[in-house]
């Protein structure tokens, strides 16, 4: 249970810092937008974006939206950990939340991945073709999302087995 | 699958109460109620054997298949 409490603290910390970061990002974006200083060099995931066009604004908003989805997933994970803490691991909400977390991570990865690819390909220094031993963060996020979806299915099976066991006389 | 549990019918025939049967076969009254109301997903052979022994009947007297 100590590990669960530690995980819960970390997830809550992640959520609070995430919400603060999103607030700061939104404030900065609006500030730059209204003061007209957004034409300065902006770095998105390590890609330098010079001169803001309408397409880049849309891409920035997409990335912001995907961060929001990620935060929602963290919030749901915190909710799931509450159920674990209350010793209700096979609750319907846990199964539903795990599936939703998975979908959110996959959608977030795709929403982040496509704009970053476009940014590096068309607005950056051209598409880089690099080979690395470690998988990229987008692939990792998709794997994490699929893992949560599989976990949801496993919990569904486990819940059915538990109910069957309880209703065996 | 339409399996009907006729424990209450057999109990009435033997003029026995539910709690007496539950105590005799070593299960809780709550579990016997699950069995009687048809909510049970499965029944152990040991439970079926104990019920048949106490009610002096055959498994077919307790369980009945009815086509849906």
Q: Are the beta carbons of B44 and A168 separated by less than 8 Å?
A: yes
pLDDT greater than 80 at residue A47 = no
Residues of A in contact with B42 (CB under 8 A): 164, 167-169
Of A136 and B44, the one with more pLDDT: B44
**Phi/psi of residue A99, each to 5°?**
-65, -45
Q: Which residue has the higher pLDDT, A30 or A74?
A: A74
* Nearest one of A163, A160, A162, A169 to B33, comparing CA atoms: A169
**pLDDT score of A78 more than 80:** yes
Q: Do A164 and B41 count as a contact with CB atoms less than 8 A apart?
A: yes
Q: Give the mean model confidence (pLDDT) for residues A90-100.
A: 96
Contact list in B for residue A161 (CB cut-off 8 A) is none
Selected from 1.10.620.20, 1.10.260.40, 3.90.180.10, 3.10.450.750, the CATH number assigned to the domain covering B2-58 reads 1.10.260.40
The per-residue pLDDT for range B3-13, each reduced to its tens digit, is 999 999 999 99
How many residue pairs bridge chain A and chain B with CB atoms within 8 Å of each other? 23
Position A54 pLDDT exceeds 80: no
Q: For residue A119, is pLDDT > 90?
A: no
Q: What is the pLDDT of residue B9?
A: 93
**Whole-model pTM above 0.95?**
no
- What average pLDDT does this structure show over A54-81? 88
In which band, very low, low, confident or very high, does the pLDDT at A132 lie, cut at 50, 70 and 90? low
What is the least distance, in Å, from the CA of B26 to any CA of chain A? 11
Q: What's residue B25's pLDDT?
A: 93
Please tell me which of the candidates B27, B41, B47 has its beta carbon nearest to residue A167: B41
**Is residue A29 predicted with pLDDT exceeding 70?**
yes
Which residues of chain A approach chain B closer than 8 Å at the C-beta? Answer: 163-164, 167-169
Q: Band the pLDDT of A37: cuts 50, 70, 90.
A: low
Does any CB of chain A come closer than 8 Å to the CB of residue B34?
yes
Please choose, from the candidates B42, B68, B60, B67, the residue with its C-alpha nearest in 3D space to the C-alpha of residue B6: B60
Q: In chain B, which residues have their Cβ closer than 8 Å to the Cβ of A169?
A: 27, 31-32, 34-35, 40, 42-44, 47
Kindly indicate the confidence band of residue A43, based on its pLDDT and cuts at 50, 70 and 90.
low
pLDDT of res. B24: 93
ipTM at complex level: 0.74
Return the domain boundaries, chain B.
2-58
CB contact under 8 A, B40 and A164: no
Q: How does pLDDT run across B21-48, given as a tens digit for each residue?
A: 999 999 999 999 999 998 898 999 999 9
What is the C-alpha end-to-end distance of chain B, expressed in Å? 7
B48 touches chain A (CB under 8 A): no
User: What is the pairing mode between strands B3-5 and B63-65?
Assistant: antiparallel
Helix (H) or strand (E) run with residue A47 in it: strand A47-49
Cα B53 to the center of its chain, rounded Å: 11
């Amino acid at each position: 249970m100590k590990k669960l409490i530690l995980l819960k603290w970390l997830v809550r910390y992640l959520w609070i810092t995430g919400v603060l970061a999103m607030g700061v990002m939104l404030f900065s974006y609006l500030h730059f937008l209204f003061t007209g200083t957004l034409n300065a060099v902006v770095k998105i995931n390590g890609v330098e974006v010079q001169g803001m066009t309408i397409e880049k604004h849309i891409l920035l908003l997409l990335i912001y939206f995907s961060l929001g989805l990620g935060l929602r997933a963290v919030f749901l994970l915190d909710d799931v950990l509450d159920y674990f803490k209350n010793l209700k691991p096979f609750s319907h909400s846990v199964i539903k939340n795990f599936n939703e977390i998975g979908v959110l991570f996959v959608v977030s990865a795709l929403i982040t991945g496509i704009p970053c690819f476009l940014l590096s390909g068309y607005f950056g220094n051209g598409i880089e073709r690099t080979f690395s031993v470690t998988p990229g963060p987008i692939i990792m996020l998709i794997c994490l999302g699929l893992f949560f979806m599989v976990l949801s299915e496993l919990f569904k099976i486990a819940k059915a087995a538990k109910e069957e066991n309880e209703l065996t006389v | 699958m339409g399996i009907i549990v006729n424990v209450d019918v057999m109990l009435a025939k033997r003029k026995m109460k539910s709690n007496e049967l539950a105590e005799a076969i070593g299960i809780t009254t709550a579990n016997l109620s699950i069995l009687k109301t048809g909510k049970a997903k499965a029944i152990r052979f040991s439970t079926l054997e104990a019920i048949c022994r106490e009610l002096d009947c055959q498994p077919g007297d307790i369980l009945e298949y009815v086509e849906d």
